[in-house]
Chains A and B, each alone.
Chain A
Amino acid sequence: MVIWDPQIEEMPKADIQKLQYRLLKTLVYRLYSFSPFYHERMKQANVHPDDITSLADVKKLPFMYKADLRDNYPDRLFTASRDDLVRYHVSSGTTGKPTVVGYTAHDLDNWTTSLARGLVSCGLGRSDVIQVSYGYGLFTGGLGLHYGAERIGATVLPTSVGNTERQIELMQDLHATAICCTPSYLLHMGEVAEKMGISIKNDTDLTTGILGAEPWTDVMRSRIQEWLGIRAYDIYGTSELSGPMFVECTEQKGFHVWSDLALVEVLDKDTGETLAPGERGELVITMLQKEALPMIRFRIGDVSVLDEEPCPCGRTHPRIRRIQGRVDDMLIIRGINVFPSQVEHTLMSIPEVGQHFQIVVDRRGALDDMLVRVEISKNAFSDKINDLMQIRSKVEHKLRNALNVGVNVELVEPGSLPRFEGKSKKVIDRRNL
């Protein structure tokens, strides 16, 4: 079995821990000296870098949150000078304000290395043609996998998103063997291909899917594998970590988290207590080597289980099992993060509708479908259908701009939507993931 970097990937656990401790210590000293934000946060938590004398001491350190990036928009958390930055990526934020992440050359190299290890761990290599159907541009998915795939010497087919029929033609003509996209987009491709008279299983060379950026399940995996005749692997990451970072190995039992790059803790989401490996809780991730935008004890918001058991593939780094939920109410719609608070924020700027809303998420065919129900306000009610349709289009347009994802809007009677009854009533997710 091929391993990209055996020296790191098969490093004995004791050595990994020593390496992690050294990297953590360096990171904390560096941030205490150079990051006014984290210096202040450590002062508030009454922690000094000298207090970190073992790897377990990581739990003395204060947390970082998604909101910290938003509050310090665009780049006040950066600890590299502009001269040393080589790239930005931007993702949509929770209240209309985006989150900006930056990279030094070293950061990009680590990101690419992480993906190179992961792609090799699921069996890809020089002879593969990897179709990257994640968006290229501000989103991290496209460019991240592009460079990861080039690093292992594979041939990249950079199709980005959209124009599904052309994607399928190119997949066939250029003999793509692997595809990187969201699981729902791959299912959509399968359906479009069948309409074109093409069976992905029988009429293409596709063997591997690297699927992520939205929650999916082992049931979906089985369906995809059986229907499309491929092996489907989960990939995980967020822009705060760099982008997509970790890919499942051929065992398909969770993704290895490279311990020289990331330190993972699993906490009880109510008490904040550290949980033992194998217990389900909130993931907290410390990026050990990031230069431009360090993330220490980042409350990423995902819930899963850390698996420290030895992996038959030989890699000694722990695995995170498939993400099993969120601690907050974030929704992932066609690969895009959507917070109900963004919807609320947008609706408040539209006088024709009230601020009460309900989100209904469904899966139409293979793709996510998001419906937002809003109440038409008293003053805006016109008995002309055209006026009402225009209000609806306006709301749809504004929501699409704010969320970066297409939304259908339904106008409902005032007072008919549930009020203040918690998120379970505000969001109805019928996707059965």
Chain B
Amino acid sequence: MDVKNYIIRQISVFSENKPGRLASIAKAFLEEKINILAFSIAEADGFGVVRALVNQPDKAFTKLTALGYNVAFTDVIAVKMKDQPGGLFEIADLLGDAGINMEYAYAYSGKEAAVLIIRVDHVDEAVSRILSKGGTLLEAKVFI
């Protein structure tokens, strides 16, 4: 098993906290026909970070950079959850057992399953531990 298969490149965009910024980013995705698979906004006083998993991350990066945005790739992992009561508990418990510390997390509930996307300190180690505890990770190729 190669842990690299499970490391997903998330697009992170610095954005000022003002009306119209999200629309501007979303429009860029539309113009490039990029599909957004998961998405969150973290906000602080006056600014925010838009995080997204998209189907064509390189294209998204190029487009947003050309528009002047400050964009970075961040490695995250996506843990599959059961889309039913207790689904999050099962995974959170597993992560706790595995001693994995999350920087941040967000989730989406898709057609086939619910997914928890997390950023961790040591991504390689986290992948191995989650798999060894019996967790299921989505493969990166799903997002390209």
Contact = CB atoms under 8 A, between A and B. Distances in A.
Do most interface residues of chain B lie in helix, strand or loop, or is the interface mixed? strand
A195 interface: no
Interface stretch (A26-34, A77-85, A185-193, A383-391): A383-391
B42 A385 contact: yes
Contacts of B68: 413-416
A259 B37 CA distance: 78
B70 interface: yes
Interface size class of A (residues with CB under 8 A): 10 to 19
Interface string A216-227: 000000000000
Interface string B4-40: 0000001010111000000000000000000000000
Contact of A413 (B15, B42, B43, B72): B15
B47 interface: yes
Given A376-B14, A381-B70, A410 B47 contact: yes
Contacts, number: 50
Q: How many B residues are at the interface, by size bracket?
A: 20 to 34
A411 B72 contact: no
A389 B46 contact: no
B12 A383 contact: yes
B89 interface: no
Contact of B72 (A383, A385, A389): A383
A432 interface: no
B44 interface: yes
A410 B69 CA distance: 16
Interface in A344-401: 376-378, 381-385, 388-389
Interface of B: 10, 12, 14-16, 42-44, 46-47, 49, 51, 68-72, 74, 103-104, 119
Interface of A: 376-378, 381-385, 388-389, 410-416
**8 A-B pairs with the lowest CB-CB distances in the bound complex, closest first:** A383-B12, A415-B68, A381-B70, A383-B74, A410-B46, A411-B47, A385-B44, A383-B49
